Chains A and B, each alone.
Chain A
Amino acid sequence: MLAFVLTLVLLLSIVIVLAYVERKVAAFMQDRMGPTEAGPYGSLQSVLDVLKLLQKEDIVPAAADKNLFKLAPILIFAAVFAGFAVIPFTPDLVPAGIGIGVFYLLAIISLDVIGLLMAGWGSNNKYAMLGAMRSVAQIVSYEIPAGLAILAAVMVCQSLDFQEISYQQGALMNRFPGLEFEMNWLFGIEALGINTTTIGGITTWNIFRAPILLVAFVIYFIASLAESNRAPFDIPEAESELVAGFHVEYSGFRFAILFLAEYSMMVLVSLVAVILFLGSWNTPLPNVGPVSLAYWTTGTIGELSGILWGGFWLLSKTFVLLFLQLQLRWTYPRLRVDQLMHLCWKVLTPIALAVILIAGIWRLLMI
């Protein structure tokens, strides 16, 4: 229960910061100023936006399927929020540490699609329906390359437990029960003879343990953009040509929930990318000889320092990825729907399959 409340509060604050940062970053990249009035440098803008949304009338269209319409936002947000349950925030803080975390995450996030379809169908509006269909087509398609890329990481790590995957990518690997005698070698190849188990830092991140995961990371990142309906894959919403996609009929609190779910999805996919490929809560600084930067910037597990350092690294890496998502949005034009499907089925999926094959071979070299 405590974990639930803490995660919810953390998520809400991240989303509010993100909504503000998005507007500011967008403005700066377009030589504008963004919000300036509410609070210093407009920093209270997104808080006030949320307050405004909560005051709005909650409209349920007369012709809508009331039950579906009302249930959809809750289902969408619940699906995304449930994904956070298995995210390890620090070395010893997981809301619900289960052994099959990766599998659970992929499964629960897929529920999102049903919520979108319910929202679109329940609105009894052709635009909402079209938006929902586009959304669903896109998300279902891109789950395949994303899933394959995650599979590659799982094959290299030989685990479905996010926390175990996290421990493997740092100098603390041997502290995890079951990994006491594991070794990390540079690029995962023992023949090179460079033992990085105690060096830690960036050298043990998954993209360095098995460099092929760098490709998997790029594939996952592109697919995750599409899964969270972000530009350049924001066809379902396409502000410049559609009204709003599947949530065109929603207002007030329900719209706020959908908005929250969308931003939570961005945060979640970035968190997963960080955990699977970019070293999770591990520090990027390696131990170099007597200068044990990695240990200094990790803190002590089980104490406050460990929690603070872990959370700091995880969140800062996540924010770098989120910033990249924002920058991509303001850099690239939107893909056409056929280009979108082309990219997914004819480019990303074959490459992801090849990456899986190579990752399997790499894993054989690693042991």
Chain B
Amino acid sequence: MNKVKHRSGFWFAVTSLVSGLRLTWQHFVRAKNRRTPEYVTDKNYFNQPDGLVTLTYPYEAIPVPDNGRYRLHNEIDDCIVCDLCAKICPVNCITIESVKATEEIGLTSDGTKKRLYAPVFDIDMAKCCYCGLCTTVCPTDCLTMTPVYDFAEVDIKNMIYHFTDLSPEQAEEKKQLLAKQQEEMAAAKAAALAARKQG
């Protein structure tokens, strides 16, 4: 075991005081260098031993990794409203209401047929634990993580993100269309049943 030798004496005290001053002076002089906001894989990331370490955050920030898990985004045009994401979410922060369409709405960008409207597609970012499960189960890859992490709100209600593209009126219209179609179908069915009974 190495014993720490206790040193004392006037000159030792003076030299240690001076070396302390030299240290702060060196930091003061090197303050003209500044850390740059480099991505962690950059060669320079660990090569900035001196200078100011602060980044002026809202103006500069270290880039986030590509596979980082931050705020969710739903590309509603590509969503087939399959409800898988809402089912897998461990904290139940996705609320989906679906309305069947009366005819085919269209195709998503990967060619899947869309048959459901989503009058409500809400994700409560305040509850979300950013586990990323919903993005892995999404069959059309429309639910993704974005690199945005700074989205604090004054009112917690604003943390609920609404992704639907239908206005309430449109949603109501679709519902009535569906109800009418179902009525017609029920009437048609009843008519067919009656015809079968007669025949």
Contact = CB atoms under 8 A, between A and B. Distances in A.
Contact of B56 (A27, A28, A33): A33
Given A36-B56, A331-B23, A29 B17 contact: no
Contact of B54 (A25, A29, A32, A330): A32
A64 to B, nearest CB: 37
Interface string B3-47: 000000000000001001101110110010000000000000000
A327 B24 contact: yes
A327 B25 contact: yes
B24 A31 contact: no
Interface of B: 17, 20-21, 23-25, 27-28, 31, 50-54, 56
A32 B50 CA distance: 11
A131 B53 CA distance: 35
Please classify the interface of chain A as helix (H, G, I), strand (E, B), loop, or mixed, using the class held by over half of its residues: loop
Contacts, number: 38
Is the interface on chain A under 10, 10 to 19, 20 to 34, or 35 or more residues?
Answer: 10 to 19
Given A327-B25, A327-B28, A28 B52 contact: yes
A64 B179 CA distance: 76
Contact of A33 (B21, B27, B28, B54): B54
A28 B23 contact: no
B24 A330 contact: yes
Contacts of B21: 327-328, 331
A332 interface: yes
A185 B34 CA distance: 50
Interface in A1-39: 25, 27-33, 36
A328 B28 CA distance: 13
Contact of A29 (B24, B50, B51, B56): B24
Contacts of A331: 20-21, 23-24
Interface pairs A-B: 8 shortest CB-CB: A28-B31, A33-B54, A29-B24, A331-B24, A331-B20, A28-B28, A29-B27, A31-B53
B175 to A, nearest CB: 52
